[in-house]
Amino acid sequence: MASATLAIQNYALLEDEECDARIVAAKEKLGDRCIILGHHYQRDEVFKHADYSGDSLKLSRDAAQSNAEYIVFCGVHFMAEVADILSRPEQIAILPDMAAGCSMADMANLGKVQKCWEELAQVLDPETEVTPVTYINSAADLKAFCGKHDGIVCTSSNAQRILEWSFAKREKVLFFPDQHLGRNTGFRMGIPLEEMVTWDFNKPMGGLTEQQILDAKIILWKGFCSVHQVFQPEQIDDFLERYPETKVISHPEANFEVCQKADYVGSTENILKTVKEAEPGTRWLVATELNLVNRLHEQCKDQGKNVHFMSPTVSMCSTMFRTDPQHLAWILENLVEGNVVNQISVEPEQAKLAKLALENMLSV
């Protein structure tokens, strides 16, 4: 039987060390009923408690295949939504801090995307000419929009295969919310930059002419990840002047110029795999979130590898950083008491449509 809900205010001033002990104790009491998912961008104080680590889709699939009743997702809101959509009905997805969102995901909301679809219909027939593709870093209602319009979801690791699938269905793609992933992927596929136009959702018709829309192969949403925009091509040039032997690797959310200068471009999982499997003694300059880069450096230094963060200024995901040991301890101790707090639950019809778009991706 549930007891009175434990208040978060009672945890705010706890030292991390005390939270650690209480998290470990609560996990032991909950046993297999609860799993903790830790995204790569989480701070170390939280990441170390994860039962599974990885990128958002991998974690959601791991959770769905587990026997856990409670899925505690140390990540951001859209990730917990995906976990809820892909998990079994009896499983409960939980987000430790409801303020952990994603600024890029927020750049594309359902109202703006529907308006874009309606404006495109003034120039062409989007239902037969345009495949909507949403990056997994988006809200559940946008995944549902793609499901409703025979579209699909992509990740940073499968974006090229997803675009190939999309073009096999229709001649154009509407890609949201991250313009850089779309542009970098499209260019690698041989699509000229002039055939990839940017839809400015704050302007009528996206700020584009009718001819630009008709000529476009990919219509890119004007969204971006602020963390990955701190990386600039000059930072690569400056570093290579000092260490010309360096290999450069970037996440595809970085801008086009950075990705063009990089030796490798790939998802977080791909970055980890590439650097870990590289020859001992190599030096790497990495364009992605700071927590991941620092953790990778620690994991590889005994092989004589030097892993450097590309930007001279700190760049971590502030919303990912919101999940702290205090919130995690609060969530777990409430579960021990029989209380579910911060449950993430996607409305059934929306979840059904979103799952269609996700299943399209998984089938590819």
Same domain, 193 and 219: yes
Q: Are 147 and 164 in contact (CB under 8 A)?
A: no
Same domain, 125 and 32: no
- Based on the domain organization, do 221 and 247 belong to the same domain? no
> Cα(256)–Cα(8) distance, rounded to whole angstroms?
42
Handedness of CA 246, 249, 254, 257 (dihedral sign): positive
Is 315 a residue whose pLDDT tops 70? no
Residue 283 pLDDT > 60, yes or no? yes
Query: At which of 176, 202, 226 does a domain end?
Result: 226
Residue 4 — pLDDT band, cuts 50, 70, 90? Answer: confident
Tell whether 217 and 140 lie within a shared domain. yes
Mean pLDDT computed over 340-346: 97
- The label of the residue with tokens 């998290």 reads 23
Beta-ladder partners of 220 = 175, 198
Confidence band, pLDDT 50/70/90 cuts, at residue 208: very high
- Please give the C-alpha separations between residue 29 and each of 2, 32, 126, in angstroms, as whole numbers: 15, 9, 53
Q: What is each CA distance from 195 to 115, 186, 364, in whole angstroms?
A: 22, 9, 25
pLDDT digits (tens, 9 = 90+) for 95-126: 999 999 888 899 999 999 999 999 999 999 99
Euclidean distance between CA atoms 71 and 190, whole angstroms: 41
Q: Is residue 150 pLDDT above 90, yes or no? A: yes
**121 in the same domain as 187:** yes
Band of pLDDT at residue 40, cut at 50, 70 and 90:
confident
Has residue 56 been placed in a domain? yes
Q: Are 39 and 59 in contact (CB under 8 A)?
A: yes
Query: Across all residues in the chain, what is the average pLDDT?
Result: 95
| pLDDT at 1 (0 to 100) | 54
3-state secondary structure 9-55: HHCCCCCHHHHHHHHHHHHHHHHHHEEEEEECCCCHHHHCCCCEEEC
User: Does any domain span residue 239?
Assistant: yes
354 within some domain: no
What backbone phi and psi angles, to 5 degrees, belong to 197? -105, 155
| Predicted confidence (pLDDT) at residue 320 exceeds the cutoff of 80 | no
What is the spatial distance between Cα 223 and Cα 202, in angstroms, rounded to a whole number? 11
Q: What CATH number is attached to the domain comprising 181?
A: 3.40.50.10800
Indicate whether 205 and 123 sit together in one domain. yes
Contact 75, 99 (CB under 8 A): no
CA pair distance 16, 326, nearest whole angstrom: 7
Asked if residue 355 belongs to a domain, the reply is no
**53 Cβ neighbours under 8 A, 6+ residues apart:** 37, 38, 39, 40, 47, 59
Residues spanned by the domain of 27: 8-101+320-347
Q: How many domains does the chain have?
A: 3
Place of tokens 């190939």: 164
More confident residue, 55 or 260: 260
Mean pLDDT of 302-321: 84
Residue 316: its pLDDT value, please? 65
Tell me the pLDDT band of 153, cut-offs 50, 70 and 90: very high
The answer to whether position 253 is within a domain reads yes
Query: Does residue 361 lie in a domain region?
Result: no
Please check the confidence at residue 3 and state whether its pLDDT lies above 90.
no
Least confident among 36-45, 338-347, 351-360: 36-45
Over pLDDT 70: what percentage of the chain? 99
Report yes or no on 152 lying in a domain.
Answer: yes
- Tell me the per-residue pLDDT of 213-272, one tens digit each, with 9 for 90 and over: 999 999 999 999 988 999 999 999 999 999 999 999 999 999 999 999 999 999 999 999
Q: Which of 259, 285, 309 is the last residue of a domain?
A: 309
Average pLDDT over residues 344-358: 97
Q: In what order do the strands lie in the sheet with 34-39?
A: 52-54, 34-39, 70-74, 92-94, 343-344
Angle between helices 325-336 and 16-30 (to 10 degrees): 30
Whether residue 358 lies inside any domain: the answer is no
